[in-house]
Amino acid sequence: MSQPFWRTSLSAVEPNKILIRGYRVQDLMGRCSFGDVIYLTFKGELPAGNEGRLIEMIVVSSTDHSFLAPSIDATRFVASGGVPLQAAVAAGILSLGDHHGGAIEQCAKLLQESVPAGRSAPEIVNDFRRRRQRIPGFGHPWHDRDPRTLTLIAKAKEWNLAGPCLELAHAIGAELGLPVNIDGVISGIISDMGISWHYGRAFFIIPRVVGLAAHAVEETTRERPFRAIDLNDIAYDGPPERDLP
C-alpha cells in the first residue's frame, strides 16, 4: 500500500508565514546570504563561521563554462526547439551525471567514509587501481591548474574551514600525480563542513542554472530556431540502403 502521509523537516508554510528550518524567511532575507541559506537548508543550522561565504564562492565558481560542457550544449539544443525557459534549463541539469559534476557526490562519499575509517591515500588509490576504476574528483579535461580550485583552497585555509577531508583529497591527488579538480575541492570543503555527500551534486546544479538560463535566453533571442549538428560532422556507419526482405 502507498504511504498517504508526507513529512518534512525542511520547511513549514502557513498563510503569510514560511519557515526554513524554523527561521522566518523574511528574517533570512534581511540577514543571510544565499550561501548561508544553502548551508542552513542542507545542514539544518546556520553557519557558525564563514561557511556561508565559502559556499557563496563555490556557487560563483561554477555558473558557466561556454560551450565546453555537455550541460550548456544540451540546453542550447533544447532551447532551439522552442520551449519555455524552465524546460531548456532542466535539460542542461539532466546532464549533470557521473561524468559531469556528479563526481562531487562520489568523491564526497569516499572522503566521508574514508576519514572516519582512518584509510590512507595510498590504501584508497591502490584499492581503486585494483578494481581498475578512476577515483572521482581528480584531473580535468581543460584545466590542470584550475584557478577556481586554488582560490577555494586558499579561502578554506584562511577561514579555518579546511579539515581532514580536504587534506585527504590532496593526499590522494599527490598519490595519483593528478591535481584535485573543482569537483574534488568542493567535495573536500563540503565534507569538512559536515554536509552529507547526498547533497554533493547540488553544489554544481545550483550555480549552473545561472549559466544555463543565460545560454537559453541567448539562444532564443539571438539565433534561428531548430539547431542541428552539421551534416559534415556526421558519419553514418550502419548498413547501406537496402530493400525490405
Which of 50, 57, 163, 174 is close enough to bind a second copy by CB under 8 A?
Answer: 57
* CB closer to a second copy out of 121 and 182: 182
Q: Is 99 in the site for a second copy (CB under 8 A)?
A: yes
DSSP helix/strand/coil, 200: coil
Site residue total, a second copy (CB under 8 A): 137
DSSP helix/strand/coil, 138: strand
76, amino acid identity: R
Angle at 25 between CA 22 and CA 28, to 5 degrees: 95
Nearest to 35 by CA among 165, 173, 152, 167: 152
Which of 49, 50, 51, 74 is close enough to bind a second copy by CB under 8 A?
Answer: 74
Which of 50, 100, 164, 167 is close enough to bind a second copy by CB under 8 A?
Answer: 100
DSSP helix/strand/coil, 17: strand
Cβ count within 10 A of residue 175 = 17
Stretch that binds a second copy, among 97-105, 111-119, 125-133, 170-178 (CB under 8 A): 97-105
Q: Is 59 in the site for a second copy (CB under 8 A)?
A: yes
Which of 130, 131, 133, 230 is close enough to bind a second copy by CB under 8 A?
Answer: 230
> Contact at 8 Å (CB) between 92 and 212?
yes
Binding mask 138-177 for a second copy (x = CB under 8 A): ---xxxxxxxx-xxx--x----------------------
> Contact at 8 Å (CB) between 54 and 159?
yes
Stretch that binds a second copy, among 115-123, 124-132, 168-176, 216-224 (CB under 8 A): 216-224
Q: Is 78 in the site for a second copy (CB under 8 A)?
A: yes
Q: Is 231 in the site for a second copy (CB under 8 A)?
A: yes
Q: Is 129 in the site for a second copy (CB under 8 A)?
A: no
CA dihedral for 192, 22, 204, 101, sign (positive or negative) = positive
Binding mask 5-44 for a second copy (x = CB under 8 A): xxxxxxxxx-xxxxxxxxxxxxxxxxxxxxx-xx--xx-x
> Contact at 8 Å (CB) between 124 and 135?
yes
